Amino acid sequence: MEDPEAIRILEALLFASDAPLELHRIQEVLGLSAAEAERLVRTLVHRYEDPEHGLQIVEVGGGYRMATRGELAPWLLKLQRSRTRTRFSKPALETLAIIAYRQPISRAEVEALRGVNVEGVLTTLLERRLVKVMGRRPTPGRPLLYGTTREFLTNFGLRDLDELPRFEEERNVEGRLQALLTIAEGPGTGNDGAAPSEDPGRSGDRLPEGE
């Protein structure tokens, strides 16, 4: 029979480690032989195989680590989206939404749509890796062009940009900005918080390049 205290310690080590925990490290910390350490790991792995647990012990990168179960990914994504919405101001969300629909777009073009300076907001979005520089427009001054990143898709629960929700009055600037803000505050979910369904028609609902 395995030592309950040793199992508790191993569980804590796996939880606290930010990288896969190698078997030899487990041996060293707990003062076990290779066979004893491996047996202890297998015991804990078996315990976490029960589907009642939200976590599991996986072998990866030459060691073991505690990880969430794959079938719970939609809930983790929902939490991530909630955190994203909470920590962004209304101006930041509005600017991000404009960039998402009009990319590639210059800072001056974003400011023309919003009617305010967006330098500080744009810097924040760049720092948080939701927006990136995509190149320069071949016009006088060669202004930088901005677009969204993979992190943007992940944070807002989108597989690709074609899943950006539709909205009405896309030719009306005032109506468009209100719609963009609404989308940014709750992208990728319906009233029940479910992930977006596949809708092939969405690709035709992107904002046109010109006014």
Q: Does a structural domain hold residue 182?
A: yes
Tell me the sheet residues that pair with 131: 148
Q: Does a structural domain hold residue 97?
A: yes
What average pLDDT does the chain have? 77
- The full length of the chain comes to 211
Last residue of some domain: 27, 46, 68?
A: 68
**How far is Cα 49 from Cα 53, in angstroms, rounded to an integer?**
8
Q: At what angle do helices 107-114 and 119-127 cross, to 10 degrees?
A: 120
pLDDT at 89: 76
Taking the CA atoms of residue 133, residue 138, residue 140 and residue 145 in that order, the dihedral angle to the nearest 10 degrees is: -20
Q: Does a structural domain hold residue 211?
A: no
SS3 per-residue string spanning the chain: CCCHHHHHHHHHHHHHCCCCECHHHHHHHHCCCHHHHHHHHHHHHHHHCCCCCCEEEEEECCEEEEEECHHHHHHHHHHHHHHHHHHCCHHHHHHHHHHHHHCCEEHHHHHHHHCCCCHHHHHHHHHCCCEEEEEECCCCCCCEEEEECHHHHHHCCCCCHHHCCCCCCCCCHHHHHHHHHHHHHCCCCCCCCCCCCCCHHHHHHCCCCCC
Flag whether pLDDT at 79 surpasses 90: no
Last residue of some domain: 41, 68, 95?
A: 68
Task: Please compute the mean of the pLDDT values over residues 134-146 and round it to a whole number.
Answer: 93
Task: Please compute the mean of the pLDDT values over residues 66-74 and round it to a whole number.
Answer: 86
Q: What is the pLDDT of residues 141-195, one digit of tens each?
A: 899 999 999 888 877 767 788 877 765 544 444 455 555 555 555 443 333 333 3
Flag whether pLDDT at 106 surpasses 80: yes
97 and 43 in a single domain? The answer is no
19 and 79 in a single domain? The answer is no
Output the domain CATH number for residue 103: 1.10.10.10
84 and 59 in a single domain? The answer is no
Q: Which domain holds residue 139?
A: 74-205
Last residue of some domain: 68, 88, 109?
A: 68
- 86 falls in which pLDDT band (50, 70, 90)? low
Over its C-alpha atoms, the chain yields an Rg (Å, rounded) of 24
Question: Among 183, 198, 195, which Cα is nearest to 100's?
Answer: 183
